[in-house]
Structure 1
Amino acid sequence: MSLLPTHADGPSPFTAGARRQQRRPSRSLPLILRRLLRFPQMDFEFASWQMAYLIIAPRRVYRNIYYHKQTKNQWARDDPAFLVLLACLLCISALAWGLAYGLGIMGIVRAMLFMVIVDFLCIGSLVATFSWFVTNRFLTHNQMAHAVEQKVEWAYAFDVHCNSFFPVFLILYVVQFFFISLLKRSNWISLFVGNTMYFVSAVWYIYGTFLGYNALPFLIHTELFLYPIIICIILYAVSLFGFNVSQHVLALYFGN
């Protein structure tokens, strides 16, 4: 007589475990997205620290990613606090611009959606995807023959965009706001101030992007990310002969 049962009245422990595993959220979803609505778990204090140092000492921010890699085994952030905080700042900026231009409630909402979704997320995703492809295709280099091949994570490429975008936000969304009355004038001082803001923000974005990829030890020739600054210098010099960038951008955004 067998001591083992030939049938079971209920599900086996293995079947129950499999069912519980199926009910759990998919682990294929990036951790930062799974935490996107868990505000109590976000470290907004550290995100604010990063924003401050992206202005005064950006290299220090990227110095910390090495320790993040050692502890979390990934280069990209796993905390969406920086992303959420920056999106909130963009919404506040859109509110201020909307009130200044008298856009009304719907106009302000449209400005918020445009600044967050188009300016920040969509354009940022395109830039991150391009940088991610270029670095993985042309700039990766593993010094040890038997070392595990390392690749740039797309999420890290988007982190680099977020970090580089923050100084742009301060210059074009905040500082420019306080120069509205000057930028609306049709004189060379208005042209010079407005174009200089866009030039500085573009150079800062490019330099921040370079720092982000230069911090990865398995990438080579990251100085290639600095070459677009030459194009910015040429365009800036040409624009000073009569093309007011600020007025054209503000007209595109606010119809004025």
Structure 2
Amino acid sequence: MSSFTRVSSPGSNYSRVKSPLPMPATTRYGCTSAANKFYKYVRRIFLFKQMDFEFALWQQVNLFYKPQQVYRNFQYRKETKSQFARDDPAFLILLAAWLIVSSAGFSISLGINFIGYLKFLIYVIFVDLIGVGMVISTILWYISNRFLLKPAFKDRDVEWGFSFDVHLNAFLPLLIILHFLQIFIYHIFIERDWFVSTWFGNTLWLIALGYYIYITFLGYKSLDILQRTHVFLYPLTVLAIFYIFTLAFNWNLSRSLMFFYKNRVL
């Protein structure tokens, strides 16, 4: 749909001029339905040539030191494409690729055979990344729309796709810390019975989960239709208490994780 800069009226010196630019997304009629958006997103998963992997990689790098900039791009997408959620699955594909590599490292470290590796990989991608992510996204999507919308924006809502994108953003640092960094020092140091090993391994968990919570908070904070978004930081208190609890009982979370992973593929 094209927009017009002026509309002539009797006695006016202005003529009707057609603009080459589309109307802003916020004023378009007949915006794409959520089901249609989802269909287009899934269809593009198999169209690699249409994906912008360079931009997706830029986002992943910036999530570590400039996450606010990543969410600023979500605002730009809303203005241009009438949706906050990504319409390009390149970010998800890259995340799955990192899981393929990290799962191979886990399999080598734990002595898992190739069939076990495939079972483990399927579980990590479709349960840990997508399945758990859908559950968390749905819960936070419901809380946002039910309790956190500003009164002036009751006619609008948080897109479920955006909530899932926030999960993907927050999952990346967790993946790098627990699936990449940890694997290189697990057998050397973390799996020992020493208290300092428990402390170090559990501290990695604290940082990874804390990062997940913080990036989740930044995602919902970037939406101007929400209020009281600080509630997304409340789990940090629970996380800190749990961290102290694990240290008090010398519970090595990393060793428990490795045991759990290994038993997934037996």
Give the TM-score taking structure 1 as reference length.
0.86
2:77 to 68, 76, 84: 68
Q: Which residue identity does 2:261 align to in structure 1? A: Y
CA distance in 2, matches of 1:176, 1:119: 17
> Residue 150 of structure 1 corresponds to which residue in structure 2?
156
Say whether the 8 Å CA contact 2:37–2:87 is kept in structure 1. Answer: no
Superposed CA deviations along residues 214-233 of structure 1, whole A, max 9, x for unmatched, are: 00000000000000100111
CA distance in 2, matches of 1:204, 1:32: 27
Say whether the 8 Å CA contact 1:142–1:150 is kept in structure 2. Answer: no
CA distance in 1, matches of 2:154, 2:79: 15
CA distance in 2, matches of 1:202, 1:36: 28
Alignment of 1:15-30 (within 5 A): 27=36, 29-30=38-39
1:38 aligns to 2:37 (yes or no) = no
TM-superposed deviation, 1:236: 0.6
Alignment of 1:1-256 (within 5 A): 27=36, 29-143=38-152, 149-181=155-187, 182-241=189-248, 242-255=250-263
CA distance in 2, matches of 1:203, 1:177: 19
TM-superposed deviation, 1:124: 0.5
TM-superposed deviation, 1:148: 7.8
Q: CA RMSD in A?
A: 1.6
CA distance in 1, matches of 2:154, 2:192: 58
- Structure 1 residue runs of 5 or longer lacking an equivalent are 1-25
- 4+ residue segments displaced more than 6 Å: none
TM-superposed deviation, 1:29: 4.4
CA distance in 1, matches of 2:237, 2:145: 24
Superposed CA deviations along residues 197-246 of structure 1, whole A, max 9, x for unmatched, are: 11111111011110000000000000000001001111111111211111
Q: Which residue identity does 1:39 align to in structure 2? A: F
TM-superposed deviation, 1:163: 0.2
CA distance in 2, matches of 1:149, 1:64: 24
CA distance in 1, matches of 2:51, 2:151: 34
TM-superposed deviation, 1:142: 4.5
Q: Which residue identity does 1:85 align to in structure 2? A: L
Give the TM-score taking structure 2 as reference length.
0.83
Q: Cα distance 1:200–1:28, how it changes in 2: closer, same or farther (>3 A)?
A: closer
Select the structure of larger CA radius of gyration: 1
Superposed CA deviations along residues 3-55 of structure 1, whole A, max 9, x for unmatched, are: xxxxxxxxxxxxxxxxxxxxxxx946432112110000000000000000000
- Structure 2 residue runs of 5 or longer lacking an equivalent are 1-34
